[in-house]
Chains A and B, each alone.
Chain A
Amino acid sequence: EAGVAQSPRYKIIEKRQSVAFWCNPISGHATLYWYQQILGQGPKLLIQFQNNGVVDDSQLPKDRFSAERLKGVDSTLKIQPAKLEDSAVYLCASSAGTAREKLFFGSGTQLSVL
């Protein structure tokens, strides 16, 4: 069974530039999550989708971050414009149902904002 796919693996940009990350969840998983993990901290939920609807985006900085999940399958997360403090690993995860069930994580995208 294929796991959660994310791209790119690494991205280096300058502040005020824009960047986009892509995620393809495990086939059949209804719930998709984007997490931000800053060095030395645990993952922090940015947004949670159930199929193609947003369940929770309370911690998403909406002035610069946006995310969409088209047709309830793959998803993109965009940052525009990027700030230095956005440097982090962006993890995508999926689950068959709620977070009470196992989350399956992708390998993440490491973003460096210079």
Chain B
Amino acid sequence: GENVEQHPSTLSVQEGDSAVIKCTYSDSASNYFPWYKQELGKGPQLIIDIRSNVGEKKDQRIAVTLNKTAKHFSLHITETQPEDSAVYFCAATTRRGSTLGRLYFGRGTQLTVWP
């Protein structure tokens, strides 16, 4: 099955700086790549996603890039704020036949933004 690796496992930045989290995947058939943010005591919340027919997607301070050839995708957060502090997960999935696609998750990145 799919194998998703995520780096770094922890990331500390100063408020206002940018943060970048990188993920690689193994299955070239994967075609959907969501990013989730999980705050303490809560379930993962989708923050942005990208499909394999798009190279980049941006939503205000958050952007995701996808390189299908290299099989890696990255999350970029600009102008970080203390409320961005959370664990971020990347995921990958593929639709095959009638299966909608189980999500394969990376191990998560604990992002801490210092004021």
> Is the A/B pair a real complex?
no
Write the residues of chain A forming the contact surface with B, with a CB cutoff of 8 angstroms.
none
